[in-house]
Amino acid sequence: MRFNILKTGAVVAIASVALLTGCSSGGGGAEATGEKLSAEQVTALGDVTLTVSSWASGGQKEALERAITAFESKYSNVKVDASFKSFDDYGKTIDLTMQSNDAPDIAQSNAVMARRLAAGKLIHPLDQYSKAYGWESRYSDSIRGMLTVSEDGKTFGTGSQWGTAPGGNIVGVFYNTATLKKLGLEVPTSYDEFTASLDTAKAKGVQPIVMGNLEQWPANHVLSAILNYTAGPQKVQDWINGAGGDFTSSGFVKGLTELESWMKDGYISADTNGIKNDDGNAAFVNGEGLYQITGNWNTGLYASMGEDAGFFVLPAPAGSQPATTGSFDGAMTVSTKSAQPDLAALFLDFYTGDEMASSNLDGGFLPFSAVDPTKGASPVTQDVLTEWNAMNKSNGLVGYLDSATPSMGDKMFPDLQSLLGGQTSADNVAKDIQANWNKYYEVK
């Protein structure tokens, strides 16, 4: 009897250890043919279920749900189950989720996650699907580059396509139309006119740029907008992709120095490092300040200003082409554990394609298939759409600086706070940022 107890104990102990070490047989998914599925082929699959995992919330979540409903009614034998998590939770669990045997067929990813998922062979290369469905023509060169990553997950712009996206986002200058008029200014059309307008506002007692930088990241969008002109779009994109470049070279340092001088000249809110981003946004909406340099994710907030809010891409200096920071948004990947990779690709084609473009626009995406700007719900949304279409056409989008390495945000954002707080110099910030880059890309 007692020995039985001991035996039971031992069995329990072994079982719990086995459970904890996660003994799993590595069950792989079905082969991806890379071919376009016809309606007949889909019907022939019988009753199938696709699972989708996403961090979409609010309008973007509704847009994905609309796509699912439409897809299910188009292919009645297919059911699509979507599960949603907050971005924070999602980012922290996606690696484990995608390694498990019940990984979702389709999973949302950003550039940082894509690196690890691609390196771990947890997602299918989508190049063949891209050809079959004609996704290539949707994206401008810059966006296509950002959706492509090398086999080891290190370098963007080379290797295989890792995801496809329903839309993108763009960073630019939001302005208060009424304040601009009061100051006797027109919408600036050149970089010099823009900096002159900062000076005018300051002289007349209006805060030129309102920015809450307590969360550390907001300042990097101002920097990246400037860098496109001081270093040039190609150099910035190459550096982000890991293809080469040096943050300590003159163009980059010039951008940092420009940001620093905007702070010193009082163009940026004096207490920016201590102002919550939300509070800065709220102040702008309530009529404080002339500009905010941030992304279209704030458009909904500014829409409440009606005619008083407008948007333009930071204008180019004489002799340069307009360029701005922007990227894809809501990119989706296909799991290598999926039993239905071809069907997953078909769904992605549907969700990111023309058919759902206006639904995706309503959800807050900027669709890659050009949408008529007059469809924008508010004056500021129409401005954003106009600039978005122009940038996509002219290939003017440049990625986000913090996707240069997995730890770039953690390095760069505090550095920029220190620069704005007068604790360090542009040269030192450049060196620190480049050291992080060199370490990741193993450059001596």
Cα atoms in the 13 Å half-sphere on the side-chain side of 401? 33
Its sign, for the CA torsion 250, 252, 258, 261, is: negative
Q: Which is nearer to another protein, 159 or 406 (CB)?
A: 406
Q: Which is nearer to another protein, 5 or 23 (CB)?
A: 5
Q: Which is nearer to another protein, 85 or 138 (CB)?
A: 85
Which listed range, 36-44, 77-85, 286-294, 402-410, lies at the site for another protein (CB under 8 A)?
Answer: 402-410
Q: Which is nearer to another protein, 220 or 359 (CB)?
A: 220
Picking from 143, 160, 123, the residue whose alpha carbon sits closest to that of residue 328 is 143
Which listed range, 27-35, 192-200, 256-264, 403-411, lies at the site for another protein (CB under 8 A)?
Answer: 403-411
Contacts (CB under 8 A) with another protein, residues 210-229: 213-216
Strand partners, 160: 149
Picking from 103, 118, 102, the residue whose alpha carbon sits closest to that of residue 163 is 118
Q: Which two tokens stand for residue 400?
A: 């986000």
Q: How far is the CB of 203 from another protein (least distance, A)?
A: 21
Strands (DSSP E) contained in 99-239 are 106-108, 148-149, 160-161, 167-176
Q: How far is the CB of 155 from another protein (least distance, A)?
A: 16
Picking from 81, 131, 164, 174, the residue whose alpha carbon sits closest to that of residue 348 is 164
Count residues contacting another protein (CB under 8 A)? 42
Picking from 174, 175, 176, 150, the residue whose alpha carbon sits closest to that of residue 162 is 150
Which listed range, 195-203, 253-261, 290-298, 408-416, lies at the site for another protein (CB under 8 A)?
Answer: 408-416
Q: Which is nearer to another protein, 14 or 44 (CB)?
A: 14
> Is 237 a binder of another protein (CB under 8 A)?
no
Helix (H) or strand (E) run with residue 332 in it = strand 332-334
Q: Which is nearer to another protein, 258 or 402 (CB)?
A: 402
Contacts (CB under 8 A) with another protein, residues 5-64: 5-6, 9, 12-13, 16-17, 20
Query: Is 27 in a helix, a strand, or coil?
Result: coil
Q: Side by side, which strands form the sheet with 48-54?
A: 78-84, 48-54, 106-108, 332-334
Which listed range, 130-138, 186-194, 265-273, 318-326, lies at the site for another protein (CB under 8 A)?
Answer: 265-273
> Is 74 a binder of another protein (CB under 8 A)?
no
DSSP structural state of residue 147: T
Q: Which is nearer to another protein, 236 or 412 (CB)?
A: 412
Query: What mask of x and - would describe binding to another protein in positions 108 to 137, judged by CB under 8 A?
Result: --------xx-xx-x---------------
H-assigned helices in 286-425: 299-303, 341-352, 357-362, 379-394, 408-420
| Distance, CA of 69 to CA of 434 (rounded, Å) | 47
Q: Which is nearer to another protein, 155 or 200 (CB)?
A: 155
Distances (CA, A) of 91 to 112, 148, 369: 9, 20, 28
Q: How far is the CB of 92 from another protein (least distance, A)?
A: 5
- Of 417, 430, 434, 437, which one interacts with another protein (CB under 8 A)? 417
- Of 140, 177, 234, 407, which one interacts with another protein (CB under 8 A)? 407
Q: Which two tokens stand for residue 411?
A: 């390095």
Polymer length of the chain:
444
| Distance, CA of 316 to CA of 389 (rounded, Å) | 17
User: Residue 63 is which amino acid?
Assistant: A
Q: How far is the CB of 153 from another protein (least distance, A)?
A: 8
Q: Which is nearer to another protein, 99 or 386 (CB)?
A: 99
Cβ distance 61 to 53 under 8 Å?
no
| Distance, CA of 84 to CA of 307 (rounded, Å) | 35
Which listed range, 87-95, 194-202, 289-297, 320-328, lies at the site for another protein (CB under 8 A)?
Answer: 87-95
Q: Which is nearer to another protein, 93 or 304 (CB)?
A: 93
> Is 414 a binder of another protein (CB under 8 A)?
yes
Contact residues for another protein, defined by CB under 8 A: 2, 5-6, 9, 12-13, 16-17, 20, 91-92, 95-96, 99, 116-117, 119-120, 122, 213-216, 271-276, 279, 406-407, 409-410, 413-415, 417-418, 421, 423-424
